[in-house]
Amino acid sequence: MPRGGWYSVGVVLMFAVLPFVYGNHALLFNMMMYLVLAQGINVLFGFTGYLPFGYVGFFGTGAYGTSLAILLLHLPPLPALLVGAAAAMLVGLVLAPLLKLSGAYFAIASLAASEVVYYIVSNPHLTPLTQGPYGISLVQTYNAAQSYAVMVAVLALALGAVVYLRNSNLGLALQAIREEPISAGFAGINVVRERTRAWLLSAALAGLAGGVYAWHVSVFYPKPVFDLSISVFAIVFTLFGGAATLLGPVVGTLLLYGLYNWIGISQPEYFQLVFGIVIVVLVLFLPNGLMSLLRRIRVDVP
Amino acid sequence: MLSYTLLAGLLFGLYFSLVAVGLNLVFGVMRLINLAHGDFLMLGAFLAYGLYAAAGLNPLYAIPAAIVAFMLAGVALYYAVVPRLQASRDPQMLSFILLFGVSQIIEALAVIAFGNNQRAIPATVFGSRPVLLLGQSFPVAWVVSAAVSAVALVVVYVYLYHSRLGYATRAVMASRDEAASTGINVHRVSAIALGTGLALAAVAGVFSAFMLGSIEPDMGIGITTTSFAVIVIGSLGNPLGTVLGGLVYGVGLMVMETFYPSWADLLPYVLLILILLVRPSGLLGQRVRLA
């Protein structure tokens, strides 16, 4: 078993078994969704250093791609999910030139890109195609149990992707690019190709999460699936736990989404306040997240 | 129709220059993208609303209060976090994330203090008779906002190009290290620049009820992105280039609103992406690309 493999199996099994003993399935589903999104951010930010503020654009694209495949092409949900993921990767391919930008410029440009996708999808002129601002209804394919099971599979895929990156040459190559792109190029790494791969993998994970989400809730409006706070949650969960590790985003999501579920749903402004303070404290005192504390006492974190 | 659109575009362009110029000043001096820029503008808007709602004061009276309060806030924010960040491994990215946290805190506190309701200041506080410009009539609130913006931009120009502090500020923009080695107090200059940047945002906020729509706690992030588009169109790191960016953006926005209203929302984002990708160094005069 590769390093971190058993932890991943444990997390997946936990979410497969928990619905039988714990009644709040919406919490479990959303937690899995954010685990997938946080690992998607981790693939990109942790391993390549690009911070995609507009990550939610892929999530929304996946939700719409899947829904439109069901509504217009009359596909069953599973093939429709692949259409959703492919749509997110296609958007990723179109936006790949953004990777030329550095640091904060990339973050803001990707935010702008997700707004562009949102305004196109929700434009009233496109109502015949996307239902415009009026939202999507997939009641004919609604199946809470099946869509939950598929989200477990997507979670396994996301964790598997990070385990692979933690143990493979691709992961090492990406981290080399993150630290020193020019030296990495001299060392024989195809900088543009590897980083585009990570970008598309990250886009596909968000697209799948969005597609399963659309199937699971089956009625939604464009605004919530393109809501910036989805990106923000996934980014902060990843940073809090520690990027570029397998367990960091898992721990970050379980703790902070648990906290959100506790105080955030009834009083979102207090949660947002806690969130903001967490970000400031992290940047000033613990820029590598909780997992760096473990590393400081010489625990090897997968 | 067209001349009305162009004139309205110029009025809005002056206003958008004011909205964005503080962001550009802060970027130019400390290479820091202030993601909380729009949230400081929102606070300025609530200041004007509060004075109007509590005492019936004309929003113009909110301007001196905004300048003093946000100048102090900016200086305090500078000494609290910036020197510490500039010593870290990746100052630009870390400060970007940190200011995002600041933006979340401000937004949350604004919701806690003011609630989630949309607020408005009636545009008739400046009088209800429209102003005639070149035969076209415009709401007086637009003209007042544009006039105050023009005055503020002239003040920025005088500050940067005709004062000792301004010479020092431009020296820090050109090279922080060389400025420090010639005896300029870099921290003091930068702290004042951050204070000025926030004060300019807050003054723009005073007029946001007339130019940007209703005042609400979550308006910040959209304004930050729009401001970023404006300064990128103009010239990143050169505060006066912002005026060019603001005018191009204002006229573009009015043309879109008039002829393609349902696509107008896309404009700032598409412009931002296109310019970052197509002319990053030429238009900006800054290196923003990696490989």
pLDDT given for residue B202 in this prediction: 96
Does the beta-carbon distance from B92 to A104 stay under 8 Å? yes
Question: Which among A113, A276, A287 has the least Cβ separation from residue B102?
Answer: A276
**Among the listed ranges A279-293, B42-56, B123-137, which one has the minimum average pLDDT value?**
B123-137
- Percentage of residues in chain B with pLDDT exceeding 70? 96
Q: What is the pLDDT of residues A228-278, one digit of tens each?
A: 889 989 998 998 998 889 999 999 999 999 888 888 778 888 988 988 998
Confidence of residue B50 (pLDDT cuts 50, 70, 90): very high
- In this prediction, residue B289 carries a pLDDT of 42
- Give me A267's structure tokens: 């009083």
Contact A178, A124 (CB under 8 A): no
Q: In chain B, what residues touch A277 (CB-CB under 8 Å)?
A: 101, 105
Partners of B132 in beta bridges: B137
Measured CA to CA, the distance from residue A240 to residue A256 in angstroms comes to: 8
Residue of B nearest to A195 (CA): B291
Question: Can you tell me the distance from the alpha carbon of A175 to that of A48, in angstroms, rounded to the nearest whole number?
Answer: 6
Q: Is A187 an interface residue toward B (CB < 8 Å)?
A: no
> B147 vs chain A: nearest CA distance in angstroms?
30
Q: Which of A102, A232, A276 sits opposite B290 (nearest CB)?
A: A102
Cβ-nearest to B288 among A105, A115, A284? A105
Q: How far apart are CA B234 and CA B120, in angstroms?
A: 30
The tally of CA atoms less than 13 A away on the side-chain side of residue B177 is 1
AA identity, residue A159: L
- A212: closest CA among A143, A138, A150? A150
- Please tell me which residue of chain B has the smallest CA distance to A123: B262
Which of A173-177, A233-237, B88-92, B103-107 has the least mean pLDDT? Answer: B88-92
A220 three-class SS = strand
The full 3-state SS of B210-269, as one line of letters, equals HHCCCECHHHHHHHHHHHHHHHHHCCCCCCCHHHHHHHHHHHHHHHHHHHCHHHHHHHHH
Angle of CA points B117, B118, B122, to nearest 5°: 135
Chain B residues in contact with A237 (beta carbon < 8 A): none
Q: Which of B107, B108, B262 sits opposite A124 (nearest CB)?
A: B262
3-state secondary structure of A76: coil
Question: Of A157-161, A215-219, A295-299, which gets the smallest average pLDDT?
Answer: A295-299
Sign of CA dihedral A158, A163, A168, A172: positive
Interchain CB distance below 8 Å, B277 and A100: yes
Residue A294 pLDDT > 90, yes or no? Answer: no
Q: Give the whole-angstrom CA distance, residue B228 versus residue A119.
A: 19
Please state, in angstroms and rounded to a whole number, the distance separating the CA atoms of residues B62 and B79. Answer: 26
pLDDT at A157 over 90: yes
Confidence at residue A271, expressed as pLDDT on a 0 to 100 scale: 87
Say yes or no: B39 contacts chain A, CB-CB below 8 A: no
Task: Assess whether pLDDT exceeds 80 at residue B236.
Answer: no
Helix B220-233 × helix B267-278 angle, to 10°: 40
How large is the average pLDDT for residues B109-129?
86
Please classify residue A296 by burial: count the beta carbons closer than 10 Å to its beta carbon, then call 0-12 exposed, 13-18 middle and 19+ buried: exposed
**Which pLDDT does position B124 carry in this prediction?**
79
* Mean predicted lDDT score pLDDT of chain A: 91
Residues in chain B closer than 8 A to A101 (CB atoms): 276-277, 280, 288-290
CA distance A193 to chain B (A): 12
In this model, does residue B232 exceed pLDDT 90?
no
- Average pLDDT across chain B, whole number: 87
pLDDT at res. B280: 60
| Domain boundaries along the sequence of chain B | 17-221
Identify which of B35, B38, B45 has the alpha carbon closest to the alpha carbon of residue B65. Answer: B45
pLDDT reported for residue A204: 97
Chain B, residues 198-227, CB within 8 A of chain A, namely 221, 225
Pair of tokens at residue A200: 């598309």
From the candidates A51, A105, A256, which should be mutated to test the interface with B, based on the most B CB atoms within 10 A? Answer: A105
**Chain B contact for A21, CB < 8 A?**
no
Whole-angstrom Cα distance, residue B203 to residue A24?
48
Please state the pTM of the whole predicted model: 0.88
pLDDT (average), residues B102-112: 94
Residue A187 DSSP one-character state:
T
Write down the pLDDT at residue B288.
Answer: 44
As a whole number of angstroms, the distance between CA B168 and CA A38 comes to: 44
Considering only the beta carbons, identify the residue of B93, B102, B107 that sits closest to A104.
B93
Tell me if B75 sits within 8 A of B261, measured CB to CB: no
CA distances for B57 relative to A227, B61, B100, B173, B208, angstroms:
36, 7, 33, 38, 16
* pLDDT at res. A253: 94
Q: What pLDDT shows up at residue A259?
A: 87
